[in-house]
Chain A
Amino acid sequence: MELKLLLLFMVLAAIAAVQIKDLLSSVIAVGAVGLGLSLAFLILKAPDLAITQLVVEILCLIILIRATINKDLPLVRDGRWFFNTASTLLFIALFLIFAYFALPELPRFGQPIMRVAQEYIDKGLVKTGATNIVAAIILDFRSYDTLGEATILFTAVMGVLAVIRRVGRINEK
């Protein structure tokens, strides 16, 4: 019940974030979505994700408010509205058609098929010695995924540094 209320709140906040003209209010609405997501993780008993979501949301809000809100935003409001609306309706229809066939095949919410995961839960403490099962999985059984994620973050930081440095140099000339 609380989860459904939270989901409704998040949908409303997301709609507000898209529709509001003022940029600062829009950023704060995005923050409300993030807070709702963090609470949803807490209700679903995932405190690791809740902590991470909360702190990353705070960092994103600070970066958005402090570093990028004064930049000009080139918004295109007129022209091609027919093409935009038609393509939006087309993709919504496609999504609904595929969802009609695909969604009944999914396992029920909260009851996943546990073949590999059951092994992790049974032997996680004995094999790794870590009492936090999430840490045992992401840093021992599934370290390849964590390595990939770390590589993604490294590449993202390098990309931001490279792109912004280039803009700075052009402005100097």
Chain B
Amino acid sequence: MKNKKEVGMTLIVKTITRLTVGLILLYGIYIVLHGHVSPGGGFAGGVIIALSFIHLMLAFGKEAALKKLSQAASSILESLGALMFLSIALLGFLGGYFFFNFFLHKGTPFALFSAGIIPLCNIAISLKVGAGLFAIFAVLILFKSR
């Protein structure tokens, strides 16, 4: 019992975290996906996604959070986001130049599926930012304890 208590914070914090952390993650995903129709975008949404994992790590201790998303996995995800952004940029050469918005039909305004490459870029940036900031936090926590 005592050993279990030492990992993470108290029962109140853990219960509240269990209720809210999914909502925070969903809100981050919402901000990312609606980046082209409302304020927000890939950077802010990615930071909110990283904050949900950091919330988990603060409340339940680092093992519980690193079981969901390990530090190596977040490094891989970050590199994947960077590669995705760059490949979207290079795919613009289909239409002629770097970062060409290669969807010819842009869709109706205010729809979720509109604006060509912009939602894809938002997803790539959110992957990069979220995984990168979580990796920084995880590394600072991991190497502090040694």
Do the two chains bind? Answer: yes
One of A61-69, A83-91, A94-102, A103-111 at the interface:
A61-69
How close is B38's CB to chain A, nearest CB, in angstroms?
Answer: 6
Contacts of B50 in A (CB 8 A): 59
Q: How far is the CA of A167 from the CA of B142 in the complex (A)?
A: 12
A59 engages B132 (CB within 8 Å): no
* Nearest A residue (CB) for B105: A129
Given that A59-B47, A140-B99, A160-B136 are known contacts, is A153 also in contact with B114, CB under 8 Å in the complex? Answer: no
Q: Determine whether the beta carbon of B118 is less than 8 Å from that of A130.
A: yes
Query: CB distance A48 to B40 under 8 Å?
Result: yes
Chain B residues within 8 Å of chain A by Cβ, number: 51
How far does the Cβ of B139 sit from chain A's closest Cβ, in whole Å?
A: 5
Bound: A172/B48 CA distance, A: 34
Decide if A131 touches B47 in the complex (CB within 8 Å).
no
Interface residues of chain B: helix, strand, loop or mixed (majority): helix
Q: Using A140-B99, A146-B125 as known contacts, say yes or no to A131 and B146 having CB atoms under 8 A apart.
A: no
Which residues on A sit within 8 Å (CB–CB) of B75? 161
**Number of inter-chain CB pairs below 8 Å:** 142
Count of chain A residues near B, Cβ 8 A: 46
- Smallest CB-CB separation from B135: which chain A residue? A157
The stretch of A3-11, A29-37, A49-57 that contacts the partner chain = A49-57
In the complex, are the beta carbons of A135 and B115 less than 8 A apart? yes
In the complex, whether A128 has a CB less than 8 A from a CB of chain B is yes
Q: Is A81 an interface residue (CB 8 A)?
A: no
Complex alpha-carbon distance, A51 and B40, angstroms: 7
A121 at the interface (CB under 8 A from B): no
Interfacial chain B residues near A48, Cβ < 8 Å: 39-41, 44
Q: B143 touching A132 by the CB < 8 A rule? A: no
Interface of A toward B, CB cutoff 8 Å: 47-48, 50-52, 55-56, 58-59, 62-63, 66-68, 70, 125, 127-132, 134-136, 138-140, 143-144, 146-147, 150-151, 153-154, 156-157, 160-161, 164-165, 167-168, 171-172
Other CB < 8 Å A-B pairs besides A48-B41, A129-B109, 20 of them?
Answer: A52-B47, A59-B54, A127-B101, A128-B115, A128-B116, A129-B107, A129-B115, A129-B116, A130-B115, A130-B118, A132-B35, A135-B115, A139-B117, A150-B125, A153-B129, A157-B135, A161-B136, A165-B139, A167-B143, A168-B146
